[in-house]
Amino acid sequence: MGESFKRTMDVVDGILRPMAQVWKQSPMPPYEDYGHLFTELIDTNAEHFGDIAGAMANKDRRVALFEFGLVPQLFFAFDCAPLCLEFYPSFFTRTNMSVVYEFLDAAEEAGVPTDVCSTDRFILGAALSGELPHNSFFVTSSAPCDGTRIAYPILHRILDCPILFLDAPFRYDREAVQYYAKQLRDDLIPFLEKNTGKKFDLDRFRQVVTESNTAYEYLVDTHDAYTVMPAPHPGILRMFPFSSFIMDAGHARLTKTLRILSEDAGRRVKEGRTQGPFKEKHRVLWVHVPPTYDMDLFAWMEEQFGAMVVSNSLSSTTILEPVDTTSLDSMLEGVAWQGLDMTMSLMRFETEKLINFSLDAYARYNCDCMFVTQHVGCKSICGASGMLAKICRKKDIPVLFIEFDYNDDRVLPPQLMRNQIEEFFTTVMD
Residues at the interface with ligand SF4 (CB under 6 A):
117, 119, 144-145, 147-148, 344, 347, 375, 377-378, 380
Cβ closest to ligand SF4, residue 143 vs residue 265: 143
53 vs 145, beta carbon nearer ligand SF4:
145
Please state, in angstroms and as integers, the Cα–Cα distance from residue 382 to each residue in 175, 398, 401, 402, 422, following that order.
Answer: 30, 18, 10, 10, 23
Residues contacting 382, CB < 8 A, separation 6+ = 374, 375, 376
Q: Are 89 and 97 in contact (CB under 8 A)?
A: no
Instruction: Give the residue from 144, 95, 143, 88 showing the smallest Cα distance to 121.
Output: 88
Question: Shortest distance, CB of residue 65 to ligand SF4, whole angstroms?
Answer: 16
Q: How far is the CB of 145 from ligand SF4 (least distance, A)?
A: 3
Q: Packing angle between helix 17-25 and helix 35-56, nearest 10 degrees?
A: 160
Query: Min. distance of Cβ 384 from ligand SF4 in angstroms?
Result: 10
Omega cis (within 30) before 30 = yes
Q: Minimum distance between the CB of residue 292 and ligand SF4, rounded to whole angstroms?
A: 11
C-beta separation of 181 from 332 below 8 A: yes
For residue 378, the minimal CB distance to ligand SF4 (Å) is: 3
Helix, strand or coil, per DSSP, at residue 100: helix
Please state the closest distance from residue 13 (CB atom) to ligand SF4, in A: 29
* 325 class by beta-carbon count within 10 Å (0-12 exposed, 13-18 middle, 19+ buried): middle
Instruction: Of 144, 138, 156, give the one whose Cα is nearest residue 119.
Output: 144
* Nearest to ligand SF4 of 305, 404 (CB atom): 404
Q: Of 142 and 325, which has the nearer Cβ to ligand SF4?
A: 142
Torsion sign across C-alpha atoms 168, 173, 179, 182: positive
Q: Which is nearer to ligand SF4, 42 or 384 (CB)?
A: 384
**Residue 364: CB minimum distance to ligand SF4, A:** 23
In the complex, least distance from residue 82 CB atom to ligand SF4, rounded to whole angstroms = 18
Smallest distance, ligand SF4 to C-beta of residue 326, A:
33
The smaller minimum CB distance to ligand SF4, of residues 308 and 347, is found at 347
258 and 374 Cβ atoms separated by less than 8 Å = no
- Of the pair 133, 144, the CB lying nearest ligand SF4 is at 144
CB 336 within 8 A of CB 177: yes
- If the CB atoms of residues 38 and 357 are measured against ligand SF4, the closer one turns out to be 357
> What is the number of helices (H) and of strands (E) in the chain?
20, 8
DSSP H or E run through 299: helix 297-305
**Cα gap 368→330, rounded to integer Å:** 39
CB nearer to ligand SF4: pick between 255 and 316:
316
